[in-house]
Amino acid sequence: MKLIVLGMNKFSLLVIVCCCSFSFSQVKNEKEERIKASEFPENTQNYFGTISKQVKKLKFFKETDGQKLSYEAKFKHKKSLYSIEFNAKGFVEDVEILIKKREISKEILETINDYFKSNYDKKRFFKIQKQYTKPSSISDENFIKTILTNSHNYNAAYEIIAEIKTHKTNQLKEFTFNNQGQFEKSRDIIASSYEYTLY
């Protein structure tokens, strides 16, 4: 009987640990630090030799959330604000473009709005980005060039930072919707990362 109880205690502990881990993974608490271009991973240096002639306000950043290290380049291209995220080894993960709500097609925006209406009392959008995830079938450099010249070749997800209200509680969250406007995931945003998140 003692063995059974002990086993149950271990199982309960495992469940608690798993739940806690899942909860922490759903929180955005990233820190961003501006760095020099020379501090970016070495294998990315060639990308920006060409890009720097086409874009304005090119800046480099290092990001960490306590577990994951990544790098990000931000710039302005043809009146739009872009960011390219790289993993710790310098390989492209995605390219994001800051957009306005009116730039989302009517059908997709309706699907997104339906999600918020079904799950929250009120919403207020602070930041909307189109997110292009790099496929494995193309090189990093060609992917960046394609997004800058003809992003319509790829389906974009939508990343939205919004303040939502339920039961008199206000909360800032980051939501991801697929290219059809269907909800995929969300995570809370910690106050300390709020300012940089909206940049």
Query: How far apart, in whole angstroms, are the C-alpha atoms of residue 199 and residue 196?
Result: 5
User: Which pLDDT belongs to residue 5?
Assistant: 40
Q: pLDDT tens for residues 105-137? A: 999 999 999 999 999 999 999 999 999 999 999
Q: pLDDT tens for residues 12-42? A: 433 333 444 333 446 766 789 999 999 999 9
User: Which pLDDT belongs to residue 174?
Assistant: 97
Query: How far apart, in whole angstroms, are the C-alpha atoms of residue 65 and residue 86?
Result: 14
The closest of 119, 125, 130 to 162, measured between CA atoms, is: 125
pTM value is 0.81
Q: What 3 state SS string does 2-44 have?
A: HHHHHHHHHHHHHHHHHHHHHHHHCEECCEEEEECHHHCCHHH
Confidence of residue 183 (pLDDT cuts 50, 70, 90): very high
Q: The domain 2-197: what is its CATH number?
A: 3.10.450
11, pLDDT greater than 90 = no
User: Which pLDDT belongs to residue 196?
Assistant: 52
Interstrand relation of 27-28 and 183-189 (parallel, antiparallel or unpaired): parallel
Domains of the chain: which residue ranges? 2-197
User: Which pLDDT belongs to residue 51?
Assistant: 80
User: Which pLDDT belongs to residue 198?
Assistant: 53
